[in-house]
Amino acid sequence: MCVLAGAQLALLVVLQPLHNRVAKWAELITVACNLLVVGSVQLAWWSLTVRDWIIDHDTFLVTLQFFSIALKELQFPAGPMGRACVP
């Protein structure tokens, strides 16, 4: 989407006739504003994606710790005090 808006801006700069400067600059400003909005939306989506990845990453680490503790319990069963008897 951002690439499309950038291509539109490039075409306006290259192909717009020079005799119609007022319309050219009005369109350039419009396209630049659209590009800014699209870029902001993409940045917001990217930050949400990264946030979700971090949350999933933390969940993965907690799950890994749980299985690590469970594996330790299997290797060294709990003693009479309820703690794993690790040599």
Question: Contact 76/86 with Cβ under 8 angstroms?
Answer: yes
pLDDT, one tens digit per residue, over 20-78 is 666 677 777 777 777 777 777 777 777 777 766 666 666 667 777 777 776 666 666 55
**Long-range contacts: 62-65, Cβ < 8 Å, 24+?**
none
pLDDT class of 3 with cuts at 50, 70, 90: low
Beta strands (DSSP E) in the chain are: none
Q: CA angle 10-11-13, nearest 5°?
A: 65
Q: What are the Cα distances from residue 75, in Å, to 12, 60, 86? A: 70, 22, 9
pTM above threshold 0.75: no
- The 8-class DSSP code of residue 78 comes to B
